[in-house]
Structure 1
Amino acid sequence: MPYPNDQDMVLEFPILIGDIGGTNARFAIVVDSYAEPREFPVVQTADYETIDEAIQTAILDHTNILPRSAVLAVAGPVDGDEIDLTNCDWVVRPRQMMEKMGIRDVVVLNDFEAQALAVVALGEEHLEQIGGGEAETTGSRVVLGPGTGLGVAGLVHARRTWIPVPGEGGHVDLGPRTERDHQIFPHLEKIEGRISAEQILCGRGLVNLYRALCAADGQEPKFSDPAEITGAGLSGQDAGAAETLDLFCTYLGRLAGDLGLVFMSRGGVFLTGGIAQKIVPALKNGHFRAAFEDKAPHSAYVEQMPVFVITHPLAALTGIAAYARTPARFGVETAGRRWKAG
């Protein structure tokens, strides 16, 4: 069984840290409390049959540093000794990992829990603000990121501790509101009859939205790749792609505003992931912010709420590294999510 919860948890250095998503896995080693993490090339999950093979081949075989502990953030719920990832075939087996690699202590977090930790570890140089006022220093925060899927997590401050709140907020319902929405939504691909936020607000969701828009207009789709759609939308070379990108920002703004209200995010709402970083100009053109603030009877409150795009390419690793160095700073629940030898 996993190791029980600890009141004063300390991890032994060196510490292997990892941010494992559906498509990419990013790893680094934290040697001590002061050194910057030693980073390694990004791993494509499809290139390796198992996570153990990826760690051994892409990381440990290229360094003489032997990690004594590991903190891994995975895209999926952490439950039991075998942890299935949501959007790839890897299964995390902490006890097997410890036996094969000599690691004595493993903590497994949700990937967006790590993103939540990152929002208090990043400097202003890695944050691009999109409207709103000044963030309160200890105000609650929420982070969401369209990528392979749609991740959501909260972060609240209590008793001088930052407490991440993981969840599956990317799967809440998303429905039509305007006349244009009602033209497009019947053509969106559904899951068992429902349209979740993730059906629109991720890479494949962007394609889903573009195809639905083309179907509503009786047009044949020109693009089948998210990068093609965002590129054509940002350049203005294709009207359908441009409208798709504007609608994507509008729907993201609606959801972000809803989550800001749920968490009363006086500390800010944070957008993370590669898609958000690539579409900053579209996020700043007004559609996102208008949808974000359109929350009557609480629009005046939401107008003051700042939104930030996280521009750091390895934000989650930054959050994991901050936690690995000083676990006591964060109220991370480790019961059922820590495995320790001995």
Structure 2
Amino acid sequence: MTPTNESAESLKFPILIGDIGGTNARFALLVDAFADPKTFPVVQTADFPNIDDAIQATVLDQTSIQPRSAVLALAGPISGEEIELTNCPWVVRPRKLISDLGFDEIILVNDFEAQALAVSALPEAGREAIGPVGAPNDGARVVVGPGTGLGVAGLVRARNMWIPVAGEGGHIDLGPRTDRDLALWPHLERIEGRVSAEQVLCGRGLVNLTNAIAQADGRKPEPHTPASVTVAAGAGDKAALEAIHLFGTYLGRVAGDLALVFMARGGVYIAGGIFGHIAPYVDRAAMRAAFEDKAPHSDLLREVPLYAITLPLAALAGLATFARAPGFYGLETVNRRWSR
């Protein structure tokens, strides 16, 4: 069993598709190219020692269908025979999955490649515009998603195919611009001296930002979780509301930067669980303004759509779209596809 560079055209049904993030794992089965995915309950990665046990308990023990192929999206870079997830202790070993769970072949992709696949065919009902939206086009697109971490992927159109571009864009530097930013930045938790976008724009980042606000205002930070910050905002807590307001502004800034990197005339799409929870308290006008505030290219950004993805289980929908018609996608499978 060695990695193969064959085309993904030869995927065999039934196909297990999975979206494995730092906190949650989501699985579904595609029986054939025409069937809707059969989804299974979302499980927490912390409840299982490894992905093998999670697949066995969540899927294989719950159905008589034996999947022949698997397309799994993982929250981390895909490299080598043992793939470590960025924000989860699981290590994925494709050879072991094939030998122990009975697959004929496995394809591994980055979790935000799966999100990028989803936006290639996202229905209008599965997205919500933030600010003005121009005419739809086949220009490059970007997905950015605050969750356990901050995921980023691009999607470009070439040779009549959509080509997902994976990366670790969530770890770009994020710097202060306003006087309030300058007051907060000394109090933000850093990694080896850096304030990356992910240090602010994810679940723990929202807590990091809330704590920095308290310290900048001369108060002792209270113990918080992302959920408790959201609850406090709903109760009218000024610090929590400011944290979410700034979170939206900084997310707009990063989304605008990524739009410039990819010249994403097809739009920037916000995914991830965090934004859906805090959306009622986000100042969308301020977020859109931050997105467009990119002199000397502000005029260009005004023409770029910004969306929030509202389709449930969007990553699984993207993987299913790819599995049904892989020929429409330029998904690189060299060293990311294993077979018996």
TM-score band w.r.t. shorter chain: over 0.9
1:212-246 alpha-carbon deviations (Å, 9 max, x no partner): 1100001233451111112322x361111111111
Write the distance in 2 (CA, Å) between the matches of 1:285 and 1:326: 36
1:1-342 to 2 correspondences below 5 Å: 2-7=2-7, 9-233=9-233, 235=234, 237-341=236-340
CA change 1:190–1:8 in 2 (3 A) is closer
Report the Cα offset of residue 161 of structure 1.
Answer: 0.1
Write the distance in 2 (CA, Å) between the matches of 1:132 and 1:139: 17
Q: Secondary structure at the match of 1:133?
A: coil
Report the Cα offset of residue 133 of structure 1.
Answer: 2.5
CA contact (8 A) 2:129 2:308 kept: yes
1:83-134 alpha-carbon deviations (Å, 9 max, x no partner): 1111111111111111111100100000000000000232111101111322
CA change 1:293–1:282 in 2 (3 A) is farther
Write the distance in 2 (CA, Å) between the matches of 1:80 and 1:87: 18
1:304-337 alpha-carbon deviations (Å, 9 max, x no partner): 1111101122000000011111111110000000
CA change 1:8–1:318 in 2 (3 A) is closer
CA contact (8 A) 1:121 1:318 kept: no
Q: 207-216 or 129-138, which moves further after superposition?
A: 129-138
Amino acid in the other structure paired with 1:170: G
CA change 1:8–1:209 in 2 (3 A) is closer
Amino acid in the other structure paired with 1:259: L
Q: 251-260 or 281-290, which moves further after superposition?
A: 281-290
Q: Secondary structure at the match of 1:177?
A: coil
Scaled by the length of structure 1, the TM-score of the pair is 0.97
CA contact (8 A) 2:140 2:154 kept: yes
Amino acid in the other structure paired with 1:88: C
Amino acid in the other structure paired with 1:194: R
Identity percentage over the alignment? 60
Write the distance in 1 (CA, Å) between the matches of 2:87 and 2:187: 24
1:34-86 alpha-carbon deviations (Å, 9 max, x no partner): 11000000111111111101101111001000000000000011111111111
Write the distance in 2 (CA, Å) between the matches of 1:207 and 1:284: 18
Report the Cα offset of residue 202 of structure 1.
Answer: 0.2
1:172-203 alpha-carbon deviations (Å, 9 max, x no partner): 00011101100000000111111100000000
Report the Cα offset of residue 274 of structure 1.
Answer: 1.1
Amino acid in the other structure paired with 1:122: L
Scaled by the length of structure 2, the TM-score of the pair is 0.97
Count of residues in correspondence between the two structures: 340
CA contact (8 A) 2:269 2:307 kept: yes
Write the distance in 2 (CA, Å) between the matches of 1:283 and 1:238: 14
RMSD: 1.3
Structure 2 residue ranges without an equivalent (≥5):
none
Amino acid in the other structure paired with 1:322: T
CA change 1:336–1:209 in 2 (3 A) is same
Write the distance in 2 (CA, Å) between the matches of 1:136 and 1:313: 22
Write the distance in 2 (CA, Å) between the matches of 1:135 and 1:31: 36
Write the distance in 2 (CA, Å) between the matches of 1:284 and 1:242: 10
